[in-house]
Copies of this chain bind each other. A is one copy, B any other.
Amino acid sequence: MITVIKLGGNIIDDEIQLNEFLLQLSHLSGKKILVHGGGKLATALSSKLGIVAEMLNGRRVTDAETLKVITMVYAGWINKSVVAKLQALNCNAIGLSGADGNSVKSEKRSPLPIDYGFVGDPLEVNVELLLNLMHAGFAPVVAPVTHDGKGQLLNTNADTMASVIASALCKKEDVQLLYCFEKNGVLKNVADEKNIFPELTNEQTEELKLIGKIHSGMLPKLKAGFSAKTNGVHRVVIGNAMQLENLASKNSECTLLHL
């Protein structure tokens, strides 16, 4: 069983929670891959550098300067800090962007109808590389930056990266995919942190989406999660990063996705 874990940005921004999460990650037995998001550091750095964020439909456009900041922060500072912390916990982490060993090749999103700039949608995962590293005892730590194979780095959604990696690996081995963030799962009501959906099907999600019962920020994560299920990933859950060990061993409250 391979465990693919996606860690959300809010945990990365909180050093105490990040350390706790990484400690639990280091205790997980079996093969594991961590895909991390970005956190607020990239936005803070852009703002300090006076890069004005261009927004389209509520989404940030990745221009050349923003791509540089994202690569520096995600593939540089966050990735290497996480790897160094895991090494200190005796977890033999190895950091990768999608360009490294061609681990995740993507294609630049079409500029039509909306040009989001240097954003890439994953096309292909180097399953052999990831499996070989895990067989050799390494835990890949993947930053959400990919490449197009023609020399261009691309900003890629971390939820999608985790889904695509889990989907590719499950053709070879049993895979579970854990989306870890600061909540216990998908909330039934955004005002109530305690009530989560213990299970969600794709159909239920579509209905809840229509009546506006699911927070818009959850939708890309759910879409990525259901896509992994469709592709054959054994178990997909959304849950609390502080419960990683319990999430992995099925002992924690969380939202379990079903097709």
Contact = CB atoms under 8 A, between A and B. Distances in A.
A138 B136 CA distance: 15
A150 interface: yes
Nearest to A19: B151
B72 A97 contact: no
A33 interface: no
Contact of A101 (B72, B75, B99, B138): B138
Contacts of A136: 132
A147 B83 CA distance: 10
A195 B92 CA distance: 48
A153 B84 contact: yes
A17 interface: no
Contact of A80 (B83, B101, B132, B145): B145
A71 interface: yes
A194 to B, nearest CB: 34
Interface in A145-169: 145, 147, 149-153
Contacts of A102: 87, 92
Interface in A50-91: 68, 71-77, 79-81, 83-85, 87-88
Interface in A98-135: 99-102, 132
Given A95-B100, A97-B95, A77 B68 contact: yes
Given A49-B49, A75-B80, A84-B152, 18 more contacts: A48-B48, A48-B49, A68-B77, A71-B77, A72-B77, A75-B75, A76-B79, A80-B153, A81-B153, A84-B99, A87-B102, A87-B147, A88-B151, A92-B102, A93-B99, A95-B99, A95-B100, A101-B138
